[in-house]
Amino acid sequence: MEGKVLFSKYELEKLLGEGNFGKVYKAKNLTTLEIVAIKMINKDEVKKHGMIEQVKKEIQVMSHVKHPNIIELKEVMATKTKIYLVLEYVGGGDLYTKIVENGKFDENLARKIFQQLIIALDFCHYHGVCHRDLKLENVLMDSNGEDLKICDFGLATFLGGHEQNYDFEDVLLYTACGAIAYMAPEIIRGDRYDGKKCDIWSCGVILYTLLVGYPPFQDESRTRMLWKIRVGKFDFPLGFSKEVEDLIKKILVPNPSERIVMLDIMQHPWFTKGLNRSCENDYSNLFCSSPISSFNAFDFVSSMGSGLDLSGLFESTHKRKLSSLFVSKCSTKEVVKKVEIMAKELKYEARKEKESRVVLRGEVGRRGRLVVVVEVFRVSSEVNIIEFTKRVGDSIEYLKFMEEEVRPAMKDVVWKWQGEWSIVKKNSGGNVISFPKWKWC
Ligand code: ATP
Ligand code: MG
User: What pLDDT sits at residue 28?
Assistant: 97
d(CA 199, CA 157): 12
> What is the separation, in whole angstroms, between the first and last Cα of the chain?
42
Residue type (1 letter), 437: K
Note residues around ion ligand 2 (Cβ under 5 angstroms).
138, 152
Closest Cα to atom 19 of ligand 1 = 17
What is the 137 CA–ligand 1 centroid distance (Å)? 8
Neighbours of 432 (CB within 10 A): 12
Reported for 170-179, long-range contacts at CB under 8 A and 24+ positions apart, including other chains, are 174/133, 176/20, 177/20, 177/133, 179/133, 179/135
Alpha carbons 123 and 207: distance in angstroms, whole number: 19
Cβ of 16 below 6 Å from ligand 1: yes
191-204 pLDDT, tens digit each: 777 889 999 999 99
State the pairing for strand pair 416-417/422-426.
unpaired
pLDDT-derived band at 265 (thresholds 50, 70, 90) equals very high
| pLDDT tens-place string over residues 131-179 | 888 999 999 999 988 899 999 887 777 654 333 444 444 444 444 344 6
8 Å CB contact between 233 and 217? yes
Reply yes or no on whether 133 is catalytic.
Answer: yes
Q: Are 38 and 13 spatial neighbours (Cβ–Cβ below 8 Å)?
A: no
- pLDDT value of position 437: 31
Q: Tell me: pLDDT of 239 over 90.
A: no
Q: Is the confidence at residue 320, as pLDDT, over 90?
A: no
Q: How far is the CA of 101 from the centre of ligand 2 (A)?
A: 18
CB distance 137 to ligand 1 below 6 Å: yes
In ligand 1, the atom with minimum distance to the C-alpha of 88 is 27
CA 188 to ligand 2 center in whole angstroms: 20
Task: Assess whether the C-beta atom of 83 lies below 6 angstroms from ligand 1.
Answer: no
- Is the C-alpha dihedral spanning 90, 69, 87, 175 positive or negative? positive
pLDDT band at 379 (very low <50, low <70, confident <90, very high): low
The answer to whether 178 and 78 are in contact (CB under 8 A) is no
Q: Which of 51-65, 74-88, 423-437 has the highest mean pLDDT?
A: 74-88
Residues 212, 199, 124, 134, CA torsion sign:
positive
Residue of 94, 133, 152, 199 with catalytic role: 133
- Read off the pLDDT band of 130 (50, 70, 90): confident
Residue type, 219: D
Ligand 2 centroid distance, CA of 124 (Å): 18
| Ligand 1 proximity of 51 Cβ (cutoff 6 Å) | no
- Does 68 sit in the ligand 1 pocket, CB within 6 Å? no
Please give the domain boundaries of the chain with CATH numbers for all domains: 5-89 (3.30.200.20), 95-286 (1.10.510.10), 296-426 (3.30.310.80)
Report which DSSP code applies to 404: I
| Interval 398-421: pLDDT, tens | 888 988 899 999 999 987 776 443
How crowded is residue 174: how many other Cβ atoms within 10 Å of its Cβ? 19
Nearest residue CA, atom 15 of ligand 1? 17
Considering 213-222, 232-241, 242-251, the range whose residues carry the highest mean pLDDT is 242-251
pTM for this model (two decimals): 0.66
**In whole numbers, what is the pLDDT of the chain averaged over residues?**
78
DSSP string, 122-169: HHHHHTTEE-----GGGEEE-TTSS-EEE---TT-EE--SS-EEPPHH
Ligand number nearest to the C-alpha of 96: 1
